[in-house]
A and B are shown apart, each in its own frame.
Chain A
């Protein structure tokens, strides 16, 4: 008898007198059947996801790399605070290594509540170039100094190039445009205000290395950072955005100062790709933009205003707008949204960004649920501009009046501010979600997953893919 009883059971069951080879005919027939089911079933759901995705993504991510950068900065701030007095993880070492980093790479899994997770790998090259590789071979390359973002769709061979226009003077050279300068700035802020609520999580093993964890309870997105105890660099950062819709983001497999090929960040149109240039207004959105967005939305929604100005409501509203707009005009010859349609979509999104990124002290409220356009006495929105003592009140006939006091409207909702980091880049649709035009049907929330579907993302992060030098990555 062997020492391990399980080995005996293993041997016993391995000796079962059963031929477990599947019959080829059954396998082939079943494959045909399941592929048909696959083709028939998921399309509608996938389209709904796409519709909602367009809105949610754009509402929350002016540019994906900026969101990631903001989170990293905030997490590292927490890291700094909690490590004061811990010689094993000296602050100076951390700062110096990061400040001197010329390149970086990390993996991200972002899960918006009710939507499939998005997985992508981000590459950074100083001073401010980024590359994101998404599932399906979609690639976003951005160079904020050049004012360009390029999205490559390997299926249609379309290279959509977003040219930022009307960028505020000096924005291209502004220090926070550099990922690591932004980090330094944030660290300085933390040093000035160390009384934050941070909790040490101790040490643990992660992917074969010892990491030290800290929980940083910062609203609206508490974060946990796991730093490599030896290298003193962050290895995994987890954060959850608690403002609906809930977004869980895990960034992991950080690597610094890799030997990255310049071609990874090239903004040249790859051979075989057709360029679709789109000018994007990069100036800060204004009240006028919000009014335009609401007016455009009402035109295709029988005069109805959005149910809310939160991310989920506006996402659904924008998706509905795009669907109707596309239904009326059709799509481009390649089956994709035309440049004009994308511009129109960006226009309405820009408007909603105005209300979302107002500072908290603007005291912004929305009361438009159920309102119909043209109702001259119906208040739908109000806020207090910076340095102003008066409120700006928007009515359902799109007129704006000033008031010394905030309107007293039943069921008005105070808008949470998403202004955590002042973004400098304009709204840009992600390549992946714009790969297909939206269906000409109103967006519905995605169906509830079946009971057997795992409800939580995995604890284990995906493996880091190898560095690739070729520009488009048609994996």
Chain B
């Protein structure tokens, strides 16, 4: 795609966002465009498909109910708003440690996270996905959000900053610190995983 094509498409999508406030069809097209990304984001954080589907539904119903008041003017504004709502919904789900533990246990039982996580970040130490998730759950809510938006939703630093209302520079620093903490926790954990429990925020 050339720069001109890209520019045209961006302009069309910006118009689509503005039209979606009152035009049902335009809103439907926005839904089609963003549903896969939002669902993937929810599933990667919540692990259990049924729960991810419920949260995805909540997100889009909330968006549909408030789109008339949405004050953004372009696709980036909409993305920021959408992922802010999704992040809030996911965090609300995970805020209860019991819920978090249940989700992880369900994921373990369903075999979703039984595979080994292999990465040079942990040197020769093997890790499992339930350990990664457990360690992730021990980070603060903001740290979890930053890591999730970066690696689960694929957002850039600037976009994460817009979603979380932070400065891009602060996002970079916070992400780096959060990943260091995550790595330390994974290195500290015993190789055979302990039972998945939620940590504090």
Chain A residues close to B by CB (< 8 Å): 1-2, 5-6, 8-18, 20-23, 26-27, 30-31, 33-35, 37-39, 41-43, 45-46, 49, 109, 111, 116-117, 119, 135-136, 446-450, 452-455, 457-458, 460, 462-466, 475
Is A41's CB under 8 angstroms from B68's CB?
yes
* Chain A residues within an 8 Å CB radius of B115: 17
20 CB contacts below 8 A, A to B, read A5-B121, A17-B112, A17-B114, A17-B129, A18-B44, A20-B39, A22-B35, A35-B27, A35-B28, A41-B65, A43-B68, A111-B71, A136-B18, A452-B66, A452-B81, A455-B71, A457-B72, A458-B73, A462-B14, A475-B15
| Residue B197, interface by CB 8 Å | no
- Complex Cα distance, B141 from A406, in Å, reads 63
Is B72's CB under 8 angstroms from A458's CB?
yes
Closest chain B CB from A112 CB (angstroms): 11
Chain B residues close to A by CB (< 8 Å): 4, 7-8, 10-12, 14-15, 18-19, 21-24, 27-28, 31-32, 35-36, 39-40, 43-44, 47, 49, 53, 56-57, 60-74, 76-77, 80-81, 84-85, 88, 112-115, 117-121, 129, 132, 151-152, 162, 175, 179
- Complex Cα distance, B40 from A17, in Å, reads 12
Is A37's CB under 8 angstroms from B19's CB?
no
* Chain A residues within an 8 Å CB radius of B28: 31, 35
Given contacts A18-B47, A20-B39, A46-B22, contact A11 B119 (CB under 8 A): yes
Contact of A449 among B31, B70, B113, B118 (CB under 8 A): B70
Residue of B nearest to A107 (CB): B11
* Chain A residues within an 8 Å CB radius of B132: 12
* Chain A residues within an 8 Å CB radius of B85: 452
Say what secondary structure dominates the interface of chain B. helix
Given A30-B56, A34-B60: 15 more A-B contacts, CB < 8 Å: A5-B121, A9-B179, A10-B151, A12-B118, A20-B44, A21-B36, A22-B36, A22-B56, A30-B57, A31-B32, A33-B57, A41-B66, A45-B69, A119-B18, A448-B69
Is B24's CB under 8 angstroms from A39's CB?
yes
Closest chain B CB from A260 CB (angstroms): 18
- Complex Cα distance, B4 from A447, in Å, reads 38
Given contacts A13-B152, A18-B47, A453-B81, contact A34 B61 (CB under 8 A): yes
Counting residue pairs across A and B whose Cβ atoms lie within 8 Å, the total is 184
* Chain B residues within an 8 Å CB radius of A458: 72-74, 76-77
Residue of A nearest to B39 (CB): A22
Residue of B nearest to A446 (CB): B69
Closest chain B CB from A242 CB (angstroms): 19
Is B119's CB under 8 angstroms from A12's CB?
yes
Given contacts A30-B56, A136-B19, A460-B76, contact A13 B71 (CB under 8 A): no
* Chain A residues within an 8 Å CB radius of B117: 12, 15
Closest chain A CB from B87 CB (angstroms): 9
Is B77's CB under 8 angstroms from A454's CB?
yes
* Chain A residues within an 8 Å CB radius of B71: 111, 116-117, 449, 453-455, 457
Is A15's CB under 8 angstroms from B118's CB?
yes
- Complex Cα distance, B64 from A49, in Å, reads 17
Contact of A8 among B8, B40, B62, B119 (CB under 8 A): B119
* Chain B residues within an 8 Å CB radius of A475: 12, 15
